[in-house]
Amino acid sequence: MLEKLRDKRLVFVGDSIGRNQWESLLCLLSSAVKNESSVYEVNGSPITKHTGYLVFRFKDYNCTVEYYRSPFLVPQTRPPSGSAKKVKTTLKLDTMDWTSRQWRDADVLVLNTGHWWNYGKTIRTGCYFQEGEEVKLKMNVDDAYKRAMETVMKWIQNKVDSNKTQVFFRTYAPVHFRGGDWRTGGTCHMETLPEIGTTSLVSSSETGQQLKILGDALSRYSNRSETVNVKVLNITAMSAQRKDGHPSLYYLGLRGPAPLHRQDCSHWCLPGVPDTWNELMYALLMKQGRAKEANGTGNVTMS
């Protein structure tokens, strides 16, 4: 894969689960490099949680593997003047994240969003939805997510050079909290086996609705003469089975296990499930490259 990435940029954009996948790929690729000092963050930044971006260069291959934090893919900003007092911030649904100009020219672009598109991360915190200069106080989260996905697809169509950039959109990775969530004592501790043969989390209201909205947004473009050159990395069903793959109490690293009521059942252990996402992405990358060479076209497909 490093040879395929020689002289190229591979960029991940999204939420912390997207960062999880980015970290996975860094580990996989770094394991194939003998000289550890030839892999470094270009600005000297440590791999710690922050609000910006990280760019790791593989010097011997002149390639970079980058991560840009954008949980919604559209910008979260101050509301227009005169907005209702309850509106603390807004998501501008008709505009791509302002950092998009930094990553639209990547050779491989991996987008994800989903975990922040819920009531708790938006309306409950005073974050409402905006189109133009109008704040949509009555718009629900699902409708806002749909509108944002339409903006993303339109941006890919109009701003991304399909002759240069291969775009992947990774679907939602289900969480596995039992008996609550992050705030209310949900657990996944001591889960040691996957749920073989079950798709209950895929058909759950939140996960299923997100997949439907994404599929509808893609269908709007796949039925047009001008298709959008994007591959959907559909990892939802396979990840739904892996209730055993989360850090649970052990996300604090050297600080020791977390309290039982503060478990992490949404992010993933490494090595672990995100490694498989990257293996699938590499297979699709190779397949798409061969198909493009054969017929010179790209299209929208669920993979």
pLDDT score, position 287: 85
In a 10 Å sphere around its CB, with 0-12 CB exposed, 13-18 middle and 19+ buried, how is residue 55 labelled?
middle
Would you state the pLDDT for residue 195?
85
* Strand order across the 53-58 sheet: 39-41, 53-58, 63-69, 9-14, 108-112, 166-170, 230-233, 300-302
Average pLDDT for residues 279-286, to the nearest whole number?
91
267 labelled catalytic: yes
| Catalytic residue chosen out of the listed positions 45, 264, 266, 275 | 264
* 174-183, 220-229, 266-275, range with the lowest pLDDT: 220-229
Q: What is the mean pLDDT of residues 63-84?
A: 97
Does residue 20 have a pLDDT over 70? Answer: yes
Active-site residue 81, yes or no?
no
Q: What pLDDT, on a 0 to 100 scale, did the predictor assign at position 226?
A: 54
Structure tokens that stand for 116 in this block:
């922040």
Percent of residues, the chain, with pLDDT higher than 90: 66
Q: Which two tokens stand for residue 106?
A: 């990547």
- Catalytic one of 115, 176, 246, 267: 267
Q: Say what the pLDDT of residue 227 is.
A: 60
Closest by CA position to 33, among listed 52, 65, 62, 60: 60
Nearest alpha-carbon partner for 233 in 187, 276, 270, 180: 276
- Per the annotation, the verdict on 161 as an active-site residue is no
- Indicate the range of 16-20, 105-109, 214-218, 243-247 predicted with least confidence: 214-218
Catalytic residue among 16, 30, 162, 204: 16
Structural tokens at position 143: 């409708």
pLDDT (0 to 100) of residue 91: 98
Q: Give me the pLDDT at residue 253, please.
A: 78
